[in-house]
Structure 1
Amino acid sequence: MEKLRKLSPFRLDSLLRLQKDPKLALQIFLNPNERSVPNPKPFRYSLRSYDIIITKLGGAKMFDEMERVVQKLKQETRFVPKEIIFCNVITFYGRARLPNLALRTFDQMPSFGCQRTVKSVNTLLNALLACREFEKMGEVFVGIEEHAAPDACTYNILINACCRCNDLGGAWNVFDEMLKKRIRPNVVTFGTLINGLCVNFKLSEALRLKEDMERVFRVKPNGFVYSSLIKGLCKADELNLAFKVKDEMLKRRLEFDLSVYPSLISALFKVGRKGDVNGLLEEIKQNGCKPDIMTYNAMIYGFCQDENFDAAFGILSEMENKGCKPDIISYNVIIGGLCRVRNLTEANDLFEDMPRRKCAPDVVTYRILFDGLHDGMQLKEASLILDEMIFKGYSPHAASVMRFVDRVCQGDNLKLMRTVLNSLGSGNLIDADTWRMVVPVVCKIDRLSIAYKLVDTLVIQ
């Protein structure tokens, strides 16, 4: 039998990089030469191998296994781990909303002989921002001088945190401190501030800051700055100004940003200028792009708001013909619009046709149709949707259930009531309020045998 070749560190790097299954990659990493010789010597891992396996395990959220590898890294004496490895670990914990583990990783870095710099500090701040741990961010920033001087990225993260808290005063204070320390703001700084101002409808300040970034700081606005302004102006119904900013963006030949067009289309429908939508679609094509799913969904929403459902269905057909598959939002918007105008038959038909269209209804679809049916007093049909929804593991809104049960009780239909109670019971959705609504109705109806059965149903469930 041919003797198996001993695996080299370089070959291990290649195998780990090619292995897509993180569990198999870990097995290879931990036992690189298990079968090659009877008593293999300790394997000389490369730093690259550690980097690859930690990245794979962190990406798969296999955090216990990742920590095992990180602790194994502490035993290495031939090299000192690079800061980027710990930055990656901190980032994985931030994405998983595990702020305490991110902080622990940062605190443990010196025990590995790894010096912390502003790069790992910024990574930690970003992870805490993702977890909305704003107080802990402040604590980290207060002690930042122990590790490194803050840079533009540090202040950008802090400004972003203030904007997410709607603390525009705090954001401006951070910006002022940045200038006092002679740290030059960049396009990310201005983009974050402008977006925060637009979200809070401070549009005059946002436009003025956009002018200052060019005139005073000599920083050119990017697509994100223009996109934030356009979306903010559309929400504030400043449509003419939004189009002016959009035209300026196109004139400057920045990277074409499709994301502004749904906002512009929605604004046009809102002010009754849906005839101008075709011009926007033509503009998209002239820039070498195709309308995306968000653009089409904005049109569907606009037509549904206008109760022009033929046009909304026409958009669905156009999407399919042009290779842009409608998503669940496309269908939910139309079903919601049909329910709003009490066109329940067509709403239910589209709901039942969704699997054929290769788009399965989700919990929102069921809730929309359930609410529409019982609001339209189609109680039997609503009970069927309720039963199917609960069977699939979806839960209706509690307030919707209460309204529905109340309507069933008003109809004095004991058979339907029992069906509804069975469905709610199977999903463990019968509470004390349901008892209070159902029992008086049962007791006032002179059909005691059926009444007892209903009470038994409640007790069993």
Structure 2
Amino acid sequence: MKASKSISPFRLSSLLRIQKDPALALQLFQNPNPDSNPQPQKPFRYSLLSYDLIISKLGRAKMFDQLEQILHQMKQETRFAPPEIIFCNVMSYYGRARLADRALQVFDEMPSFRCQRTIKSFNSLLNALFKCGKFEKMKKVLEGIEDYGTPDACTYNILIKAFCGSEDLDNARKVFDEMRSNGLQPSDVTLGTLVHKLCSDSRVKEALELKEDWERVRGVLPNGFVYASLMKGLCGIGEMALAFGLKDEMVRKNIRLDAAVYSTLISALLKAGRRGEVPGLLKEMSEYGCEPNTVTYNAMIHGYCKEKDFEAAYRVLDEMVEKGCRPDAISYNVIIDALCKGGKWSEANLFFQDLPRRGCHPDVLSYRMLFSGLCDCGQFKEAAFVLDEMIFKGCAPHYARTHKLVEGLCQEGNMELVGTVLSSLEKANVLHGDTWRMVISTLCKEKPSDVSELIDTLAMQ
């Protein structure tokens, strides 16, 4: 019988590239020639590309134990030294998975792979630590930055994001100024990060000055994200005219308007009670070839619900489906919440029950909103049914609401249902001691004979 042709290192790389299943790719990498001649052969000569491909697949799939096995195997290679980019990628995978210590370990072990560390791998480590929220570790790592090179634009961008993420905007501005004084050009990402944070902190005037300085001194146009952040900030402080002025400025400067810009303005119009201007803005969107997305529609749904115009909100849902824009949980939760707060608990319950038919499965927030709404409306029996389904689906209710439910049932004298609810809460390990003491206290005052009966009921359940 003729033996099958052996897979070459080049062929292995090709097969790894097209294999989408990381587990099968790993199996192929570990045993590229399972049907070859059983006689002793030379070790398979893996190429650097094969290592790069399998590391990437395992990293994206978060198969980190297997990834480290491959790294250990690669360390034994004598034919080549792995390039720095491979370790940068590995640290990035660990950063996304919030595995800060593993990212640090990879960086520390790079010399044992005969790979020199430069500012590029240092930046990868810094960014991984930032994504893990390890700001103190970032500061410690920064103390040795001179060993790896001079900080570049990427280094400063990461630091600015880190300071903004840790609510230290003043230091973020200092880093931004230092970056420019060192002759490094901030990117749109840098500017966008600072502008967004300034606007979030209601320092919109500073954000506008920064944007204008960027254009005047650097001669560079801010991108759509910068404009969207500024418009949102301006709308938040009631400066609608300035926000629309920025939108017109984008048109004049031929900067592409996206759905985020229009969604911000539509939301602001509805909050300001200027509902009649929304259709014109939607028409303008269409003229510029910008289709409304889920965020746009959700802004409209939220605005109509604020006005208690639920029919308009339902029409928006129907329009989303007609235009191929799938509603998400937020689309439905906004309506459920508004119906409950408007006292329309029955309509909210029916709408909730209709969600599976609409292709949406309720999330934790959906359950909590309906449960809270039913409790607030005094519909404790209905709330108890929703609670039972919540617990079955693994959705933990808030203590304050379950306490209110039990208290309401006690006041109604429905002790049988109280026992069922307490049993469900106990099984889910969310029965608070205060709730139990409240039930016992109520029974002792009003129906002492029911105390032992309730305890017996709970014991049986």
* Counterpart position of 1:413: 414
* Counterpart position of 1:425: 426
> 1:117 & 1:50 partners in 2: Cα distance?
21
- TM-score by structure 2 length? 0.96
The alignment partner of 1:185 has SS state of coil
* Counterpart position of 1:24: 24
Q: Is structure 2 residue 147 aligned with structure 1 residue 146?
A: yes
* Counterpart position of 2:237: 236
> 2:97 & 2:199 partners in 1: Cα distance?
29
CA shift, 1:101, in A, is 0.8
For structure 2, the 5+ residue unaligned runs are none
Letter in structure 1 aligned against 2:270? F
For structure 1, the 5+ residue unaligned runs are none
* Counterpart position of 2:354: 353
* Counterpart position of 1:37: 37
> 1:196 & 1:328 partners in 2: Cα distance?
27
* Counterpart position of 2:316: 315
CA shift, 1:204, in A, is 0.9
The alignment partner of 2:79 has SS state of coil
User: Kindly, what percent of the aligned residue pairs are identical?
Assistant: 56
Q: Is structure 2 residue 12 aligned with structure 1 residue 12?
A: yes
- The more displaced of 164-173 and 97-106 is 164-173
Letter in structure 2 aligned against 1:18? I
Equivalent pair of 2:95/2:132 in contact (CA under 8 Å):
yes
Letter in structure 2 aligned against 1:34? P
Equivalent pair of 1:390/1:426 in contact (CA under 8 Å):
no
CA deviations on 1:230-278 (whole Å, 9 max, x unpaired) are: 1211222211111111111122222332112222111111111011111
CA root-mean-square deviation: 1.5
> 2:109 & 2:44 partners in 1: Cα distance?
25
CA shift, 1:195, in A, is 1.8
The alignment partner of 1:97 has SS state of coil
Q: Is structure 2 residue 412 aligned with structure 1 residue 451?
A: no
5 Å matches for 1:239-254?
239-254=240-255
> 2:54 & 2:182 partners in 1: Cα distance?
40
- The more displaced of 417-426 and 144-153 is 417-426
* Counterpart position of 1:373: 374
* Counterpart position of 1:65: 66
CA shift, 1:445, in A, is 4.0
- The more displaced of 297-306 and 253-262 is 253-262
CA deviations on 1:195-222 (whole Å, 9 max, x unpaired) are: 2211111111111111111111222211
Letter in structure 2 aligned against 1:26? L
The alignment partner of 1:216 has SS state of helix
Equivalent pair of 1:409/1:438 in contact (CA under 8 Å):
yes
Equivalent pair of 1:90/1:127 in contact (CA under 8 Å):
yes
5 Å matches for 1:295-334?
295-334=296-335
Letter in structure 1 aligned against 2:35? R
Q: Is structure 2 residue 181 aligned with structure 1 residue 184?
A: no
Letter in structure 2 aligned against 1:31? N
- TM-score by structure 1 length? 0.96
> 1:35 & 1:271 partners in 2: Cα distance?
72
Q: Is structure 2 residue 61 aligned with structure 1 residue 76?
A: no
5 Å matches for 1:100-249?
100-249=101-250
> 2:393 & 2:267 partners in 1: Cα distance?
34
* Counterpart position of 1:387: 388
The alignment partner of 1:136 has SS state of helix
- The more displaced of 295-304 and 127-136 is 127-136
CA shift, 1:457, in A, is 4.3
CA deviations on 1:373-407 (whole Å, 9 max, x unpaired) are: 11101111110000011111111111211122222
> 2:130 & 2:211 partners in 1: Cα distance?
25
